[in-house]
Amino acid sequence: MRNSGDIPPAAGSGLELLDPYLSQIVLETGASIGHVYLLSRNETELRLSVMSGVSREIIAPWARVGLDHPIPVSDAVRERRLVWIGGQEEMALRYPRAALVLPYPFAVVAAPIATGTTTWGGLVLLWPGSHPPRLALRERDAVQTWSHRLGLLLQQASDRGHPVLPGPEPRMLPGSSTRTTGAAEAQAAADFTERLPDGCCGLNMTGHIAYLSTAAACLVGAERSALLGARPCDALPWLDKLVFEDRYRAAVVSGRPTSFTALCPPDRQLSFHLYPDASGLSIRIIPAPSPHGSEFPEPHPSAPVTPGRTAGLYHLLHLAAALTEAVGVQDVVDQAADQLLDAFNAQGLVLFVAANDRLRVIGHRGYAAEAIDRVDGAPLSGPPTSSPPVPPTPPALALTAGVPSFFGSRDEMRQAYPETSRLTDKAAWAFLPLIASGRPVGCWTLSYDRPHPFPPEERAILTSTAGLLAQALDRAGVYDDEHHLVHRLQTALLPRALPDIAGLDVAARYLPSTRGIDIGGDFYDLIRLGPTTVAATIGDVQGHNADAAALMGQVRTAVHAAAGAPPGDVLARVNRLLTDLDPGLFTSCLYAHLDLTHHRVRMATAGHPPPLLRHPDGLTEVLSLSPGLLLGIDSTSDYPTTEIQLPPGAVLALYTDGLVEAPGADIDETTAQLAVRLSGARHHTMDALADTLVHHAQQPSRQNDDIALLLISPRPD
């Protein structure tokens, strides 16, 4: 293994660079499962890039996760810290959604992959349930060391102009064998299993049969050639897929042996014992003893098993947990599209809602844009005067009548809806109404590239899933309506445009928090006082609700009324007003009086973050103002005034704390970093400078509060 400082050139900068690193991490820590996630280009989500020790099907729900998703790797990357979960109980307490989907005993650690201020992704390692509840010191050291080396590898690849980026599908590392054998020993092992009366079966890392003894084939009543390379639950239709895949996941994730019993037609009970390790899974198959003491148990009917039954239930459970945390309509659409195609092995999905008596597409996967354009905006019913009457389309019928419909082949669809069968190249369709509180809110269409039967059990699962989607969309619609109202209210309370003042360049930005929809209390203003005098103010009302917004409007009005007086007097007057109102909320505020003739500024502050001043030569300082109490606490508070020079070419930056606050960061350090960014952008226009200063804070992992920014710069004479 080379040191991270001696990395060979990237062959196309592919993910294969990460393979030896992940292999070594798993080896040194003794983990059974390892994953490397990389940040997407827009840095809003993590994508599984390299994996080992588990099949793609098990990890599919977490192939793409948002930075705000409640799972260990998102928290580790977002907060740049190591996250350790020592067992099943702790997982259920801290991450109930993940525990609900994988209810098996295991321990997990997640660590950020970063260099300096750049975050590249995250490392995840899982251990069997037998792991102690604490992370050993040597394990912690190995995790931190290798995540650091991964960061250096990714940094160097990026510096060479060949960044390592996540691909459309994660790479899977081959399973590591505990030992290797020669041809003679391998033959001896095969002979050994052939002499045993029990059946022996080996699955590879993807869950497919790699080895099968003659006794095993005889016990399950199938030819070896038909079983090799297949998944057991696919090749044996009588094997309850729900039970098998649950026990398979339990063995792989927990690292512990497990077992179950199944009925092999016509009347043979078989006991399956599963033994996992890093190279795959071994299955021992033996006849199960009869509860009545006879050689064979009493026959009883086997429950019908349908393809996708377990996968559907598995992803349905995951979707149910995910939808409880979805907020807007787009969140619901993304969650549904990510989960449901894998859940039902489908190739197409469309989500419709009703708007103005028409069908509107709010999300789709697996369809060309031309096909979506032809159905988006289609009327819910045909013209009433048409002859013969035009029947409604399947999605329109599902939405208006609330009745699902299923078409297993093109012939079935062609008989009922000739136009629909020619619209796309799909071969089977399910149209499910989305009904919430007894009323239809939309329609969900699922489609397949090949003919697909829809047995009763699968139809029931699809209908249940539609119910979950409908409730989530209904809640999300209310959320979006409230968000729109809040945005309009916030816009109305802030100045529509800053006044155009001769001799002054200004720029302002307001960014709402990336979390929640509540309205914030951040505000700014620029007030013309005379031909060469201007007042500037910025503030932040405590809270994120309608009360905060109302108080913010009152504070702005009060500042306008008092503007022109000395800065300390302006804040004192506003403070007395707020104290008399007793709103139960406090406000930080900074007021500045600019004299453009003499190039000076007088300022007073009520507990507000200190302004920044960039001198014409680029030197930037954090101004130290004598602070007064927050507004609304004590009616007798005094607000000292500080005077500074503001020569032409200088820039005065006023901002709220959302621009410099970040989880786990020291606010003095982040303020100093903001000053560095201000100093380094000397040749930017004011608008470009404003964008530069707020860009860093716009990352989802940082922006937990609203941001207001006001930049002021006298023009050279």
pLDDT digits (tens, 9 = 90+) for 95-121: 866 776 777 889 999 999 999 889 999
In terms of pLDDT, which residue wins out, 15 or 647? 647
326-339 confidence digits (pLDDT tens): 777 888 888 888 77
How is residue 86 written in tokens? 């020592």
Q: Which of 146-150, 429-433, 487-491, 701-705 is least confident? A: 701-705
Q: Check whether 688 has a pLDDT greater than 90.
A: yes
**pLDDT over 80 at 295, yes or no:** no
> Once rounded to an integer, what is the mean pLDDT over residues 293-311?
40
Residue for token digits 């996708």?
308
Residue 347 has pLDDT above 60, yes or no: yes
Alpha helices in 369-417 (DSSP H): 369-375, 394-401, 410-416
Least confident of 20-24, 173-177, 499-503: 173-177
How far is C-alpha 101 from the geometric centre of its chain's CA atoms?
16
- Determine what percent of the chain is predicted with pLDDT higher than 90: 41
Q: Are 262 and 272 in contact (CB under 8 A)?
A: yes
Q: Tell me the average pLDDT across 491-501.
A: 78
Give the three-class secondary structure for 566: coil
How does residue 382 score in pLDDT terms, banded at 50, 70 and 90?
Answer: low
Best mean pLDDT range from 66-70, 299-303, 475-479, 582-586: 66-70
Classify 683 as helix, strand or coil.
Answer: coil
Residues written for the chain: 717
How many angstroms separate the CA atoms of 267 and 140, rounded?
A: 52
Helix (H) or strand (E) holding 93: helix 88-94
pLDDT, averaged across the chain: 83
pLDDT at res. 571: 96
Going by pLDDT thresholds of 50, 70 and 90, the confidence category of residue 580 is confident
- How do beta strands 106-115 and 522-528 pair? unpaired
Tens digit of pLDDT for each residue in 650-686? 999 999 988 988 766 788 888 999 999 999 888 889 9
Alpha carbons 433 and 440: distance in angstroms, whole number: 7
What does the pLDDT read at residue 99? 73
Q: From the CB of residue 138, how many other CB atoms can be counted at a distance below 10 Å?
A: 11
For residues 613 and 643, is the Cβ–Cβ distance under 8 A? no
- Residue type (1 letter), 548: A
The stretch 532-541 carries a mean pLDDT of: 93
- Whether the pLDDT of residue 20 is over 70: the answer is yes
Alpha carbon 353 to chain centroid, angstroms: 24
Q: What are 695-717's pLDDT values in tens digits?
A: 866 554 455 578 899 999 998 76
Give, rounded to a whole angstrom, the gap between the first and last alpha carbons of the chain: 64
Residue 304: the pLDDT is: 35
What number is the average pLDDT over the span 189-216? 91
